[in-house]
Amino acid sequence: MGLGRLIVLTGPSGVGKGTLMRSLLRRHPELYFSVSVTTRSPRPGEINGKHYYFTSREDFERMVAQGELLEWAEFAGNCYGTPRQAVEQHIRKGEWVVLEIELQGARQIRQNFPEAFQIFILPPSLTELEFRLRGRGQDSEEAIARRLNHAKAEIAAADEFDIQIVNDDLDKALEQIEMALFATAGVA
């Protein structure tokens, strides 16, 4: 791979970031996925250290205060952040690090790592996004409404990113991500 690189994948909740990320990592195991820290409780099937590092709000606030997080954000009442040390270590070793984070965190990355390649994932429509959120069966009506309102503001920021990809077809969206990453690196 040569030079280390930081890649950011963001977009509204329910747009398919996690599914795209898992598919990308299956096809490109050479990429290093940075596991985020969160104060939220694990969902069924989530494993500490694989899906997230689950921690208390007190420990999270200590990490923020000590500069241990590359970026962090509060979303839907929970805090999420990217451990700085692991990301910087992998980039120094020449590896590509991928982050799946929220808009607020992506903006912090832009300030701290302006050379990061930032990808914004868009839903085909707000109606489809609502359908996907409801299909997950994880949120109350109030939470869905809150996520949809938040999504509108996030979508308005899509132009801040290096590229925008509409996730209306998973395979097509994944191919577009691969083309953007590997074509810009001259690794077609």
Choice among 2-6, 58-62, 137-141 with the minimum mean pLDDT: 137-141
Nearby residues of 77 by Cβ (< 8 Å), 6 or more positions away: 40
pLDDT of residue 187: 46
Band (pLDDT 50/70/90 cuts) for residue 3 is confident
Look up the pTM and report it: 0.86
Q: Where are the alpha helices (DSSP H) in the chain?
A: 17-27, 57-65, 84-92, 103-112, 126-136, 141-156, 170-184
pLDDT in tens, 64-96: 999 999 999 887 789 999 999 999 999 999 999
Ordered by start, the domain boundaries in the chain are 5-184
Query: For 5-184, which CATH superfamily applies?
Result: P-loop containing nucleotide triphosphate hydrolases (3.40.50.300)
| Amino acid of residue 79 | C
Summarised one tens digit per residue, pLDDT across range 122-144 is: 999 888 888 888 887 777 888 88
